[in-house]
Amino acid sequence: MKIKFRLSNNELRVWIACLELCWMEPKNDSPAIVRMAYHGLSKLFHKLKSEALIQKPEYKFSLDSTEALAFVAHMQGYTNYLVNATDAAIINGIIGLIDKKTT
């Protein structure tokens, strides 16, 4: 299943920055679920960075739901995103969109 996104340049950059700040590569002995999420996040990160290469005021793209849900699963472990309140609201909005489109 594909999830369509329509994000501003700022929203895309916040999403990328969030991944850069809070995502770490798993250890070799990590559980399979952690490694699976890592591969989903890797694909997601690559797609988001690819979109951001072209400077546009608004981005329209779609992601595979497994990549998007890997992001949601990853972020469920965080109570503080290490970003300001405005950026946290953007991240929460993206998570809400993914939740809404995958239920």
| Domain count along the chain | 1
Tens digit of each residue's pLDDT (9 = 90 or more) over 61-80 = 999 999 999 999 888 876 66
Contact (Cβ atoms closer than 8 angstroms) between residue 44 and residue 19: yes
- Report DSSP letters for 42-73, one per residue: HHHHHHHHHHHTS--SEEEEEEEHHHHHHHHH
pLDDT band at 103; cut points 50, 70, 90:
confident
Note down the domain range covering 6.
2-101
23 Cβ contact list (under 8 Å, min separation 6):
41, 45, 74
7 SS3 class: strand
Average pLDDT over residues 68-97: 85
What is residue 33's predicted lDDT score, i.e. its pLDDT? 83
Q: Cα angle vertex 102, ends 12, 86, to 5°?
A: 35
* Whether the predicted pLDDT of 13 surpasses 70: yes
